Amino acid sequence: MIPLAFALRTAPMDNTVKAGVAAHQSLRQALLQLKRALPSGLEAEGDAVMLRRDALQLDANLFEADLAAGRLAEAVDRWQGDFLAGQDDAGGPAYGAWLDGQRQALRTRLRVAFGQLVERADRDGDADAALHWAERWAEWFPHDEHAATQVLHGLYHAGRTGAALGRPAGFDSRLRQALGSEPSPAFPRLAAELQGPAPAAPPVPGSVRVCA
């Protein structure tokens, strides 16, 4: 259980402790709201209130559990945006540093999961699936050069060279406008490589190739 330590000591009701009384009342109100929202989730022990671990399900925890179990597709499908989005001002500097760390760690794990999904699809010879995961990756991380590169390779190996030709310039423009930076020198060279003949599309599973 996660301890929510607090002091509910009776304070003298005089003008010298108004701040303490206000904090006392605010805490009581917060606990009342928690009790209404989680009628069986709180446990009291002395001057401590405990929140049972099984009282709430955090999407971040479910995301990490899916990753640990190798359920990569399920994990990335859970992703709905940054951890505690819109709660940046809910605490002080220590809270802000903790929140930034949590978000960065979760984003990194998401990137790794997308990379593994693309790699798995490539290994299975499924060009469409590789492109699907690469595009999902780039949607969540529009300024990630690695994701953009995987989309280009996915389009190329899926036989969609024409669709890939305009992507490097689009990524370059997006990066400059949003971050004031530019891609690495290797990225624009992909455009030249993609102007060559597209690779043959992989055979449809179960089909028979007939040689003349």
pLDDT of residue 204: 46
Among residues 45, 21, 46, 42, the alpha carbon closest in space to that of 33 is found at 42
Q: Does residue 33 contact residue 47 with C-beta atoms inside 8 Å?
A: no
Q: Are 50 and 2 in contact (CB under 8 A)?
A: yes
Please tell me whether residue 5 adopts helix, strand or coil conformation: strand
Q: How far is CA 133 from CA 51, 63, 137, 161, 190, in A?
A: 38, 17, 6, 18, 19
State residue 20's pLDDT score. Answer: 56
Three-state DSSP class for residue 81: coil
Higher pLDDT, 6 or 200: 200
Which tens digit of pLDDT belongs to each residue from 168-187? 778 888 888 888 888 888 88
State the pTM of this model: 0.69
In tens, the pLDDT along 51-95 reads 776 767 788 989 999 999 999 999 999 999 998 888 888 778 888
Mean of the pLDDT values across residues 150-178? 84
Range with lowest mean pLDDT among 27-36, 122-131, 185-194, 196-205: 196-205
Token pair of 123, please?
């290994």
Give the Cα separation of 55 and 46 in Å (integer): 20
Provide the phi-psi class of 188: left if phi over 0, else alpha when psi is between -120 and 50, else beta. Answer: alpha
134-144 residues labelled b (16+ CB within 10 A) or e (exposed): bebbbeebeeb
Is the distance from CB of 127 to CB of 157 less than 8 angstroms?
yes
